Amino acid sequence: MKHALSLALFSLSLLLITTTSSNAQAPDGFKTGYIILNDNTRLEGFVKENFKSKAAVVFLAADGKKATYTGNDIKETGFDGSTYISYSSDFFKLVSSGPKASLYQKVTDASGQIIFNGSEAVGVSSGSEGAVKDFFIRTSKDNNLHLVTKKNFTDVVVSVCTDCPAVTESVKNKTAGYEKLAEVIQLYNQCK
């Protein structure tokens, strides 16, 4: 009798653990993640990126509520080990960060997307400059994203990194070029 009761409790425990584990798994197409709303509220749940077609993410909360958020609706989202910020209606993936500067890559093109305030359409997004896959620098002294292309690399890096002669000289002397942009940002972050 005692053995049967122990076996029944053990089986019930396994059933509860299995049920709890399966409830914590992300639904198809979603990944465990978070969003940060414009009022700095952080919500944990499941995220599905919809960057290519809608320049948006779909968020599924723990209570089962599903909502779509554009770059106008949230400040940041994170899933799959990556962080994405929103800026001028578009989303940008964080490539590297440090105390002085961060490097981002544009992942959406929100131009032409309708902007809503609640359910009311209030305008059409012009999006941000640059194309999908372009790189941008954001410094701690300036909250803007600065587009960096092969063509403007020297001008942008020299103007953004003026307080670090090691970086500006390596860029001016062509020892560091566009293809080493991530390394240039790392060097800038190490500059005193």
111 vs 38: CA distance, rounded Å:
20
Residue 110 · residue 89 · CB < 8 Å: yes
Q: What is the pLDDT of residues 31-86, one digit of tens each?
A: 999 999 999 999 999 999 999 888 999 999 989 999 999 988 999 999 999 999 99
HSE-CB at 10 with a 13 A cutoff on CA atoms is 6
Query: Has residue 19 got a pLDDT over 80?
Result: no
The encoded tokens of residue 151 equal: 């063509």
Its pTM stands at 0.80
- Cβ count within 10 A of residue 43: 17
Local structure of 154: helix, strand or coil: helix
Q: What is the pLDDT of residues 146-190, one digit of tens each?
A: 999 999 999 999 999 999 999 999 999 999 999 999 999 999 999
